[in-house]
A and B are shown apart, each in its own frame.
Chain A
Amino acid sequence: MSVNPDLVGRAFPPTAPYLVGREKVREFARAVFATDPQHSDPEAARALGYADVVAPPTFAMVVQDLTLQQLLAEPDSGIALERTVHAEQRFHYTRPIVAGDELVARLRITNIRPFGKGAMVTSEAAIEDATGAHVVTATSVLLIGGEVA
């Protein structure tokens, strides 16, 4: 099965709310060697005007991943994880993610184009907070390999 072109424009439900925990932010910061105090010290974050510790920029991927799980769970997607390569990643920020945020992500497939025997799929996750305000949009370009004969 090849990648289903009808995925472009398909409506997906928002993901279940993801509550950003302070210790999760600290854990993620440590994992990406993010030593700046805004990521771990609530006082340092407050001095910058944030309510709590500030997540490193690529933390948005953790929330976007919930949308990629949605995509993989579509029975007719034609996308199999073992044939998927992450080719490119992009984030557009309105503001950084902060501990205490409750975030939902909305998945959109914005582009599918043939690439060799497979396809390049552009998957976008618009991430909003509990008030419905935009936080960050995360965009992944996935290279889906063709079926192995």
Chain B
Amino acid sequence: MTDSTAPTLTVGDIVAERTVHLTRESLVRYAGASGDFNPIHYRDDVAAEVGLPGVLAHGMLTMGIAVETIMPWLGDAGRIVEYGARFTRPVVVDAQDGADLVIVAKVGALDEDIARIDLTVTFADTAVLGKTQVRVRLGG
């Protein structure tokens, strides 16, 4: 009975939020860490060639940043049962100004010992991920 989060949760509660500033360096770092070297994530000329509005953040980078927002609250990655997202809008990372991702994590639904945490991830006031849901185990 060391868990202090479960008994007090209510649907609609914000459990975590943060803003992450992405730069081109962030994209190169993620490319190296993940092994995804698609040049649309670091080369303006290639991005333009394939008709993109600019160099884009990896969808998996955005998804990875989003879920980590709740980790300090959750305390243990082992509580995560399921995590899913749809990639709906691109995150254009400007060479000079970068891009700010704003993540808000809310309780979407509560079952007996499972909570569904709904993440909203916005860039320039537009949601970039759809149906971003984490199902987490509550209690010991």
Asked whether A91 lies within 8 Å of B84 as measured between CB atoms, the reply is: yes
Determine whether A8 belongs to the interface, using a CB cutoff of 8 Å to chain B.
Answer: no
Determine whether A38 belongs to the interface, using a CB cutoff of 8 Å to chain B.
Answer: yes
Task: In the complex, identify which listed stretch (A50-58, A101-109, A110-118, A123-131) lies at the interface while the others stay far away.
Answer: A50-58
CA distance A19 to B26 in the complex (A): 25
Contact among B35, B63, B64, B85 for A34, CB-based, below 8 A: B64
| B85 / chain A contacts, CB cutoff of 8 Å | 88-90
Asked whether A58 lies within 8 Å of B33 as measured between CB atoms, the reply is: no
Asked whether A65 lies within 8 Å of B83 as measured between CB atoms, the reply is: no
Asked whether B33 lies within 8 Å of A91 as measured between CB atoms, the reply is: no
Max count, chain B CB within 10 A of own CB: residue among A35, A87, A88 = A88
Asked whether B80 lies within 8 Å of A62 as measured between CB atoms, the reply is: no
Asked whether A65 lies within 8 Å of B77 as measured between CB atoms, the reply is: no
Contact status of A31 and B34, CB under 8 A, knowing A86-B59, A88-B87, A89-B84: yes
CB distance from B102 to the nearest CB of A (A): 13
Interface size on A, residues (CB 8 A): 35
Contact status of A58 and B78, CB under 8 A, knowing A33-B68, A90-B84: no
Contact status of A61 and B84, CB under 8 A, knowing A33-B65, A36-B68: no
Asked whether A30 lies within 8 Å of B80 as measured between CB atoms, the reply is: no
Contact status of A32 and B71, CB under 8 A, knowing A54-B77, A65-B36: no
| A39 / chain B contacts, CB cutoff of 8 Å | 71, 77
Tell me the residues in window 46-68 of chain B with beta carbons closer than 8 Å to chain A beta carbons. 50, 59-61, 63-65, 67-68
CA distance A117 to B78 in the complex (A): 41
Asked whether B78 lies within 8 Å of A48 as measured between CB atoms, the reply is: yes
Contact status of A54 and B78, CB under 8 A, knowing A36-B72, A86-B59, A89-B60: yes
Contact among A31, A34, A65, A93 for B29, CB-based, below 8 A: A31
